[in-house]
Structure 1
Amino acid sequence: MVKHKAYKFRLYPDKEQKILINKTIGSSRFVFNYFLNLWNEEYKKTGKGLSYNKCAVIIPTLKKSDEYSWLKEVDSIALQSSIKNLEDSFNRFFKKQNKAPRFKSKKSPIQSYITKNVGNGIQIQGNRIKLPKLKMVMFANSREINGRILRATISRKASGKYFISLLVEEHVQELEKTNSSVGIDLGIKDFAILDDGTIYNNNRYTTKMAKQLAREQRKLSRRYEQAKKIGEKLEDAKNYQKQKIKVARLHEKVANQREDFLNKVSTIIIKNHDVICIEDLNTKGMLKNHKLAKSISDVSWSMFVTKLQYKADWYGKKIVKIDRWYPSSQICSNCGINSGKKTLDIRYWECECGAKHDRDINASINIKNEGLRQVV
């Protein structure tokens, strides 16, 4: 089965390549903002926006002008991709899938641009990758790619590191059927509880790094105040910039630990089960609870569910989502009686039928039963 898969690698560009990557990122951001402004003005005048084709034909004119001649230096496909992204953003907005496109800022922690593989412009040769305008760039070739490269996203993190994400079209072999199903109850105390009693602990990566992050953040604030006091621009304040990178790398470490954990757990579950039943959680709504928001954000339920979904699609497995209002924690998995709402501090309870329950395991069993009922 042909599927789209993304592969992410660390890039190691030389000094000149870094300069060109940064120029391309800046030019792509400029093009996005320039045409977003034109799009908004056109909408105010006519009630209709522009289109990719109308915008794309303007780029050669910009390049010929003295004011924007620097656009010639960078990858033309990256500039076209910025306009395509803008058009897609407006299409999603009119379909009420997201908010209206906003102007991009150079202060965003992650900066990137997209280029397409036209005429084999993107090729891998050992530990080097050929990219438009950049030519051969060193990268950490940690995985073999067996498929056709469609496009590449080159990004620069706040930590100063460069990465490339390759979208590849390849044949993915479905996993063998296990004739097994599972119910998963997601929580804060424990990350995931399966109906067979398997528990995946919540590693609380942000909480573990909280003291160190707070300490380094305070240092950053002090250096900001020092630069402000002497009237120095932040871009020129070396101590501030060094500390800013240090803080960014700590945040990056937390994010990498969390993603590695989620990848491992989701892969194990997908390999061992054909049907995965899970609650359709309203994470955005739950984040409004200020007492639990930090813990919910740290546990990353939505990222975990996303990983389960695309891996299930790759390997021929099925995800069944249970209604978020289904009272999985209140129903006895033995007799099916709903004995009423139980507060979060009640971890163990006994049903009137005599069955004794661990709250989370009981919930995961009910989620599995409800999911299988929907499948049938």
Structure 2
Amino acid sequence: MPIKTRIYRIKPNRTMKQVLDSLCDYRRFSWNLGLETWQDMYEARQLALTPHLKAELKKAKNKQNLTDIEKEILASNPVPSWRKIRDELTENKQHWQAKYPAHVFNLAIQDLGNAWQNFFDKAQPDWGKPKFKSKKAIRQGFKMDQAKIKDGYLFLEKPRAVKEKWTGFKLSSSPLSEEFGTISFYKEKNRYYVAIPFKLPELPNKAKTNQVTGVDVNVGHFNYQGGQCLVLPKKLEHAYEKIKHYQRLLARKREVNGRKEAATSRKYLKTRAKLQGAYRRATNIQNDLLQKFTTKLTDNYDSIVIEDLDVKKMLMNHVASKGMHRSMFGKFRQILSYKCEWYGKELILANKLYPSTQRCAVCGLVKKGDDKITLKGNKKHGTKHNEFVCYNPDCPNYNQKVDRDENAMMNLTLLVKHPELNKAL
């Protein structure tokens, strides 16, 4: 069943703001308490396991060969899991926690368990050890699975401590479906949002066009069969110039009498609000560009080929790391992946070692050694980084300058009809 998540901005009143803020704090408290308990349980088990017991556990496929004392040690120091953490913390709940919905606490501990599972899978995009949540983080939020939608209004479960009239949030557009999953609320830059994952019936596949394309992603623009998509337009560059300007102003306003202190003046807060607005505008522009471009691709092409880029390693290069980050390679792949799945389109990932940039799309000659094109071009032949020149005398493009990105896009498109080329050459 496809799931479409729609984000709405909500405008709560004073009472609802207090409720939402308190639930964000309770979610953060539950996560931090669960993480601390998880670490304590893990350390206690490691201390209880003697070298002899560890060796016996590796040998024995079950616990039948262990002594009663060893079984008792393992039983009193179990392997931590989100259910065991939840049960232990539920037994030791404090009286003030009774005024908060229990499912907010349960969802926080369940997400903590998922975070530990992802820690052992390095293929995850946000791989890493779970960390404690900070109240100074820009985004605060919580999850809830007991909300209801009625007549275009979203109603939360009313906490016991609230005695005032309980109202709902009006949604800016009609719901996509009556069925939806766990709702996520979050607060960012003094604005409140809600993300609702609607469960939809099977989406109809888009009409077949019998067209294929490769998409060569570059800093500032993406090349495809229909032309070029600019992902760093002038309006986005203007937004980043504003961000740069306001950051400089805030850096000067933080210094009080020659010391860097936390500024609380009205001018500082006003400038910070302008900086947050500039960041928000840049994010909206980027999201709008990627959504429209990916929709255009799925409308016009049946098969789409993109490169399987290791974005994290590419960001280590200081030459173009900022441009790569702003071009949002990873988000483009994420959006295109689920849209192709929705509408029955084929998405092909090119091998990481496939030489789309070094291969001639006409004759198939692959540049090697000193003939390779780098970020600085080619010193041997004196060509620029965006120029591709084939040195095969039998090639129609022999000794002619071709746009490197167009040549790479054509090489990616070839993988649709010739999948045997999708490998390191």
- The two structures have a TM-score, normalised by structure 2, of 0.79
Cα deviation, residue 94, structure 1: 2.6
Distance 1:58 1:3 in 2: 36
Instruction: Name the residue aligned to 2:396.
Output: 354
Distance 2:226 2:177 in 1: 38
Distance 1:136 1:185 in 2: 49
Instruction: Name the residue aligned to 1:87.
Output: 113
Instruction: Name the residue aligned to 2:61.
Output: none
- Of 27-36 and 338-347, deviating more is 338-347
What percentage of residue pairs aligned between the two structures are identical?
A: 25
The structure-2 alpha-carbon separation of the partners of 1:101 and 1:332, relative to structure 1 and needing over 3 Å to count, comes to: same
Cα deviation, residue 230, structure 1: 11
Contact persistence 1:322–1:371 (CA under 8 A): no
Gaps in structure 1 of 5+ consecutive residues: none
Matched, 1:218 2:212: no
- 1:188 corresponds, among 216, 219, 226, to 219
Determine helix, strand or coil for the equivalent of 1:193. Answer: strand
Contact persistence 2:155–2:169 (CA under 8 A): no
Cα deviation, residue 62, structure 1: 4.7
Instruction: Name the residue aligned to 2:419.
Output: 374
Matched, 1:155 2:186: yes
Cα deviation, residue 105, structure 1: 0.7
Instruction: Name the residue aligned to 2:155.
Output: 130
* Deviation string, structure 1 residues 294-337 (Cα, Å, up to 9, x no partner): 11101001100110001111111111010122111222211212
Determine helix, strand or coil for the equivalent of 1:248. Answer: helix
The structure-2 alpha-carbon separation of the partners of 1:33 and 1:311, relative to structure 1 and needing over 3 Å to count, comes to: same
Distance 1:33 1:178 in 2: 52
The structure-2 alpha-carbon separation of the partners of 1:348 and 1:217, relative to structure 1 and needing over 3 Å to count, comes to: closer
Determine helix, strand or coil for the equivalent of 1:154. Answer: strand
* Deviation string, structure 1 residues 125-154 (Cα, Å, up to 9, x no partner): 22x211222753334423541241111100
Matched, 1:319 2:353: no
Cα deviation, residue 278, structure 1: 0.7
Distance 1:156 1:188 in 2: 31
The structure-2 alpha-carbon separation of the partners of 1:265 and 1:143, relative to structure 1 and needing over 3 Å to count, comes to: farther
Matched, 1:77 2:103: yes
Which structure would you say has the larger Rg? 2
Contact persistence 1:74–1:133 (CA under 8 A): no
Distance 2:331 2:137 in 1: 21
Instruction: Name the residue aligned to 2:53.
Output: none
Contact persistence 2:253–2:268 (CA under 8 A): yes
Determine helix, strand or coil for the equivalent of 1:162. Answer: strand
- Of 53-62 and 172-181, deviating more is 53-62
Distance 2:236 2:90 in 1: 47
Instruction: Name the residue aligned to 2:40.
Output: 41
Distance 2:167 2:244 in 1: 40
Calculate the aligned-residue CA RMSD, in Å: 2.5
Distance 1:343 1:25 in 2: 48
Contact persistence 1:39–1:49 (CA under 8 A): no
Distance 2:113 2:85 in 1: 10
The structure-2 alpha-carbon separation of the partners of 1:168 and 1:366, relative to structure 1 and needing over 3 Å to count, comes to: same
After TM superposition, the structure 1 = structure 2 runs for residues 43-122 of structure 1, keeping only pairs within 5 Å, are 43-47=42-46, 49-65=79-95, 69=96, 71-96=97-122, 97=124, 98-117=127-146, 121-122=147-148
Instruction: Name the residue aligned to 1:329.
Output: 357
The structure-2 alpha-carbon separation of the partners of 1:333 and 1:116, relative to structure 1 and needing over 3 Å to count, comes to: same
Instruction: Name the residue aligned to 1:253.
Output: 281
Distance 1:225 1:337 in 2: 59
* Deviation string, structure 1 residues 248-282 (Cα, Å, up to 9, x no partner): 22111111110110000011001111111011111
Instruction: Name the residue aligned to 2:23.
Output: 24
Instruction: Name the residue aligned to 1:4.
Output: 3
The structure-2 alpha-carbon separation of the partners of 1:350 and 1:214, relative to structure 1 and needing over 3 Å to count, comes to: closer
Question: Letter of the aligned partner of 1:100 in structure 2?
Answer: K
Contact persistence 1:223–1:240 (CA under 8 A): yes
Contact persistence 1:321–1:371 (CA under 8 A): no
Determine helix, strand or coil for the equivalent of 1:321. Answer: strand
Distance 1:39 1:228 in 2: 44
- Of 135-144 and 270-279, deviating more is 135-144
Determine helix, strand or coil for the equivalent of 1:186. Answer: strand
Question: Letter of the aligned partner of 2:101 in structure 1?
Answer: D
Cα deviation, residue 362, structure 1: 1.3
Question: Letter of the aligned partner of 2:157 in structure 1?
Answer: P
Contact persistence 2:144–2:182 (CA under 8 A): yes
* Deviation string, structure 1 residues 186-225 (Cα, Å, up to 9, x no partner): 1114x2111x351112325654323321221233233333
Distance 1:238 1:88 in 2: 42
After TM superposition, the structure 1 = structure 2 runs for residues 227-246 of structure 1, keeping only pairs within 5 Å, are 238-246=266-274
Distance 2:258 2:204 in 1: 58
Gaps in structure 2 of 5+ consecutive residues: 47-77, 160-165, 376-383
Contact persistence 1:185–1:192 (CA under 8 A): yes
Contact persistence 1:9–1:139 (CA under 8 A): no
Question: Letter of the aligned partner of 2:30 in structure 1?
Answer: V
- 2:228 corresponds, among 195, 199, 206, to 199
